[in-house]
């Protein structure tokens, strides 16, 4: 027997003004259909040089979108899709194919959230063992002097905005599900505080992509240690993490106030750099319309998701629902095209960006604009499903928490 959450939301109809659908089917379901067709088994990301699937964060983002869609529709095909993908990696003894704890890459943590979802749904011991393995990595991650998690062992003394999404939602959920030491909650809140302290620009309210405590990287400012540009998707990762971790933080925990203050500052910066003409956001956040810059779909999706969920959960003022609505409407015009029946394509996604490594990524304006722009990339597809599903949930009563009831069903 599987426990599933049935969420009562307004149905999409073609005649409803502002409805989030093409034809009679919701955008989230059409994007999911595209994902489930493109990645029937396991996901092979563009950076996989040998064409083999690996335990990667990109797959977790797609599966997170599918998970939320499963919760809102109750359609078992979504659950089966998730389980099939995870079971490709998680063996019966709980070991994980292609995963190496001692790489200490925070990018390898997010798939643990999907493992936790399956453990809670099935109670199968292999998922708990796999989650324990991921947690082993999280606990052993190297840290900055004040305690911030390095992004990867190969990137010493560095914190990236991306890393907050990669590590902390799993941290919060694992701590709650397995009744871990409550001090872990304080530590995860501090990760957000330290990241903002080191990356926030007071003038714009935006967050720089990365921070190097050693100030030794070529991409890092000699004085502040910050990278030099605002990459929208990096800010999007951070914003999504801010709203996701609070699903698991104890209700009375003082960290809620700190996280909410950070979310309010982050949301204001996001809002201030929304393209007033299209409603979407650009690859370099503060350079709307600048030469070489472009409207980017994964970041826009992440912003819409974070703002819409923030309003729904009562973390953000209701005015941000309109910001999110304009964002999704803009995506429909700028990024979405009809594919086969019941499927859509998502255009204008940056395939990937980072700092350092080989070949060296210098964090320059030119660098961020040099990465390939692709259609139906996992970063965009997963984030778009999350964003569209959130807006669909909120379409009837923005600003209210969704009602849920638990029901057991047979598999």
User: Could you read off the pLDDT of 251-298 as tens digits, one per residue?
Assistant: 999 999 999 999 999 999 999 999 999 999 999 999 999 999 999 999
Domain parsing of the chain, residue ranges: 2-400
What secondary structure letter does DSSP report for 275?
Answer: -
pLDDT higher than threshold 70 for residue 35: yes
User: Could you read off the pLDDT of 104-131 as tens digits, one per residue?
Assistant: 999 999 999 999 999 999 999 999 999 9
256 token code pair: 């809620």
**Average pLDDT of the chain to the nearest whole number:** 91
Q: What is the pLDDT of residue 48?
A: 61
CA atoms of 246 and 171, how far apart (whole Å): 11
Give the confidence band of 400 by pLDDT, cuts at 50, 70, 90.
very low
The number of C-alpha atoms within 13 Å of 168 and in the hemisphere containing its C-beta is: 34
3-class DSSP assignment, residue 26: strand
1 token code pair: 């027997």
What are the residues whose beta carbons fall under 8 Å from the beta carbon of 101, sequence distance 6 or more?
133, 136, 137, 140
What secondary structure letter does DSSP report for 92?
Answer: T
- Among residues 117, 237, 124, 216, the alpha carbon closest in space to that of 174 is found at 117
Q: What is the dihedral of CA 61, 324, 365, 49, to 10 degrees?
A: 20
CA atoms of 192 and 324, how far apart (whole Å): 23
What secondary structure letter does DSSP report for 282?
Answer: B
Determine the CATH number of domain 2-400.
Answer: 1.50.10.10
**pTM summary value:** 0.92
Which ranges constitute the DSSP H helices of 141-254? 161-177, 183-199, 232-244
The number of C-alpha atoms within 13 Å of 115 and in the hemisphere containing its C-beta is: 32
Q: What is the pLDDT of residue 7?
A: 35
User: Could you read off the pLDDT of 149-162 as tens digits, one per residue?
Assistant: 999 999 999 999 99
CA atoms of 310 and 97, how far apart (whole Å): 35
Give the confidence band of 45 by pLDDT, cuts at 50, 70, 90.
low
CA atoms of 144 and 157, how far apart (whole Å): 6
Q: Which residues are identified as catalytic? A: 162
CA torsion sign for 9, 10, 12, 18 is negative
């Amino acid at each position: 027997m599987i426990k599933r959450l049935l969420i009562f939301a307004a149905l999409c109809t073609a005649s409803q003004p502002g409805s989030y659908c093409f034809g009679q089917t919701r955008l989230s379901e059409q994007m999911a259909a595209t994902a489930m067709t493109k990645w029937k088994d396991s996901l092979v990301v563009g950076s996989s040089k040998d064409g083999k699937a690996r335990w990667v964060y990109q797959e977790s983002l797609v599966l997170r979108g599918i998970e939320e869609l499963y919760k809102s529709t109750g359609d078992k095909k979504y659950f089966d899709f998730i389980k099939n993908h995870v079971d490709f990696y998680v063996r019966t003894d709980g070991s994980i194919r292609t995963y190496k704890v001692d790489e200490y890459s925070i990018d390898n943590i997010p798939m643990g959230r999907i493992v936790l979802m399956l453990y809670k749904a099935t109670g199968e011991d292999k998922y708990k063992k796999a989650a324990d393995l991921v947690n082993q990595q999280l606990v052993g991650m190297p840290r900055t002097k004040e305690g911030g998690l390095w992004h990867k062992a190969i990137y010493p003394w560095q914190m990236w905005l991306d890393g907050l999404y990669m590590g902390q939602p799993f941290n919060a959920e694992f701590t709650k599900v397995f009744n871990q030491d409550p001090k872990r909650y304080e530590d995860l809140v501090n990760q957000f505080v330290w990241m903002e302290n080191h990356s926030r620009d007071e003038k714009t309210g935006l967050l720089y992509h990365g921070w190097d405590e050693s100030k030794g990287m070529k991409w890092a400012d000699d004085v502040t240690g910050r990278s030099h540009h605002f990459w929208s998707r990096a800010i999007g990762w951070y914003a999504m993490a801010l709203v996701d971790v609070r699903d698991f933080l104890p209700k009375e925990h003082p960290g809620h106030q700190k996280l909410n203050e950070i979310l309010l500052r982050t949301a204001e910066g996001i809002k201030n750099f929304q393209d007033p003409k299209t409603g979407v956001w650009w690859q370099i956040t503060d350079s709307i319309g600048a030469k070489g810059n472009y409207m980017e779909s994964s970041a826009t999706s992440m912003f819409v998701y974070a703002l819409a969920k923030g309003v729904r959960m009562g973390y953000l003022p209701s005015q941000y629902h309109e910001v999110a609505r304009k964002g999704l409407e803009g995506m429909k015009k700028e990024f979405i095209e009809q594919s086969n029946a019941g499927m859509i394509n998502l255009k204008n996604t940056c395939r990937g960006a980072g700092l350092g490594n080989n070949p060296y990524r210098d964090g320059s304006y030119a660098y961020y604009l040099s990465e390939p722009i692709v259609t139906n990339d996992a970063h965009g597809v997963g984030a778009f499903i999350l964003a569209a599903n959130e807006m669909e949930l909120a379409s009837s009563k923005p600003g209210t928490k969704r009602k849920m009831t638990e029901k057991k069903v047979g598999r």
